[in-house]
Structure 1
């Protein structure tokens, strides 16, 4: 018990140090956007410069993510009010049914062409699943949901941990936290929290660990280095969008992963594609150091 408490104290200190050493930095828009990101409204960046942070920032972002948007030509979105005469320019977080969400996930966002056929890469083991994995003629293709016995939709924020504050379908089908995973690794992770695994307790693949962190008795999951930042930013987004907290240990780990595995072109392109079909953005991809303005998720 003492060792577990000491482990939690260490990660709490890590979270505090990561926040306090970077919390006064200037907000940075991602290098992958060639134009200003207008989704957050005209007041967003000025408000950050004037001290918007912590609970006030969380509330602001939540309102932006769940509200109607009025898109203006070459100007920032108007948040919350959509003039009836301009309804064609209005949009909001569109909630799909689960079938359509998976068609987009597998048949668009993560579909890779390999020669004359298609494949899907699982994010935990970096394994490609093509025709040979499903049987000829049953492999991945545009708009198709592959067999769940081979590949599954991984809910980075587990379904069993969803909040009752928002509809379950809104959370279940939110593409910002859905990723393809082999069905076996999806089951092995289950609803476990993420962490830095020191002692393996389950058989996985070399890139994916499931086991015990140092000083903490609960089993956690650790994704490959190439997916750590993606997990962190997906979880921080989900926390803000659905007003549900992240525990102290995971928050410390996510702050670390957000720094060590920054947004790359692949993650940016995926987020842009999600915005196109779902009408909601991930602010932690758009502004890589935005987490530094929030002391407690």
Structure 2
């Protein structure tokens, strides 16, 4: 079960997470929209773009994933704390796991049912890109994850989405069935696979990473993938820009927002960077980048303020922060950690499709945003 934190603990954990990002790693990520996505791509890809702080993606090959999955970051140090493999298809976040993987001898292998073995699941199915090329996509642990072999097979290569009526349910409650075709998932009724709520954000951020890291190949993946066998192709639009079709942009943004970055994701991000392939998932380091890039493409009018707001950059530089949201804000209030109001703006105006708060002193703050009928609070740090 996810832990509850006090405000102080929350801010301290955030500081620790930010502190592990290499200095200057995102210094060239200054744009908005699709410009920002391309800037991030140049930071995390394997092409030397001559950036001031550039750590090229160093592909380690497919077999190296087995060793990576033995690292502490991929083990259960968050729920039962038993060091077993943290598999999103066998983990029960609120109770006893139906089974665990503890030994490397349990790697697949053949299987006849759940708990027989674990393998390397491509969250973006390999059939989507392997007619174009296989390396380094086949080997990238930011979207190739350890999972139960049987459930991975039952997921097949269907899109991730919101299930209406389930035709299959795994032992931990992951399910497959028809797309619900309503709410934030309006527009798709074919078969989808839905993981537990606990891991939906993890999966969404893996897709956003894939769309960014391999941006300049997305049109080639789409044109060469086998549409008749790769059902997940329905999630993609064939562009190198927005990348995803509706309603899947809506679904991924919703999952990203509802399931914030976890300690597990932060640990994996650092482990992959420092000990494996020397690049990072920007959407784990800076969750607000998702909204900055994809909010303008959302189609579902049922999104609330909390699902569309992005605050960037965060940590704040140059003593000013920008706020992007589809909602009209009535007020912006900045509090310090003692609850004192530092700055209050009523009826703010947008400049270039974003609200701006300036003259921010260094420190940790909470920023409260209010629209006509609702309000949300987010944390920011000013360098």
Q: TM-score, normalized by length of structure 2?
A: 0.55
Q: 1:36 to 1:169 in 2, by over 3 A?
A: closer
- The residue correspondences of 1:63-142 to structure 2 (distance < 5 A) are 63-66=42-45, 67-68=47-48, 78-79=52-53, 91-106=55-70, 109-112=73-76, 119-126=84-91, 127=97, 128-130=99-101, 139-140=103-104
Q: 1:35 to 1:153 in 2, by over 3 A?
A: closer
Say whether residues 1:217 and 2:192 are aligned partners. Answer: no
Measure how far apart 1:161 and its partner are. Answer: 1.2
CA distance in 2, matches of 1:275, 1:94: 10
Measure how far apart 1:169 and its partner are. Answer: 1.7
Say whether residues 1:234 and 2:206 are aligned partners. Answer: yes
- The residue correspondences of 1:187-226 to structure 2 (distance < 5 A) are 187-215=153-181, 216-226=188-198
> 5+ unaligned residues in a row in structure 1: which ranges?
1-28, 71-76, 81-90, 132-138
- Asked if the contact 1:162–1:168 (Cα under 8 Å) also holds between the matched residues in 2, the reply is yes
Q: 1:191 to 1:35 in 2, by over 3 A?
A: closer
Alignment length (residue pairs): 235
Q: The residue matched to 2:119 in structure 1 has which SS?
A: strand
CA distance in 2, matches of 1:289, 1:64: 17
* Structure 1 partner of 2:261: 263
Measure how far apart 1:223 and its partner are. Answer: 0.8
- Asked if the contact 2:118–2:147 (Cα under 8 Å) also holds between the matched residues in 1, the reply is yes
Greater strand proportion: 2
CA distance in 1, matches of 2:35, 2:68: 34
CA distance in 1, matches of 2:290, 2:257: 10
CA distance in 2, matches of 1:257, 1:240: 18
Cα RMSD (Å) of the superposition? Answer: 3.0
Q: The residue matched to 1:154 in structure 2 has which SS?
A: strand
CA distance in 2, matches of 1:200, 1:123: 18
Greater helix proportion: 1
Q: 1:183 to 1:41 in 2, by over 3 A?
A: closer
Higher-RCO chain (CA-CA 8 Å, sequence separation at least 6): 1
Q: 1:264 to 1:180 in 2, by over 3 A?
A: same
Q: The residue matched to 2:84 in structure 1 has which SS?
A: strand
Q: Which has the larger radius of gyration?
A: 2
Measure how far apart 1:34 and its partner are. Answer: 2.8
Deviations 1:20-67 (A, max 9, x none): xxxxxxxxx9552236653534333xx2xxxx2222112111111113
- 2:39 paired residue among 60, 78, 82: 60
* Structure 2 partner of 1:134: none
> 5+ unaligned residues in a row in structure 2: which ranges?
1-12, 92-96, 111-116, 182-187, 219-242, 299-383
- Asked if the contact 2:106–2:118 (Cα under 8 Å) also holds between the matched residues in 1, the reply is no
Measure how far apart 1:119 and its partner are. Answer: 2.6
Q: TM-score, normalized by length of structure 1?
A: 0.70
Deviations 1:46-105 (A, max 9, x none): x2xxxx2222112111111113488xxxxxx7156xxxxxxxxxx410111211122212
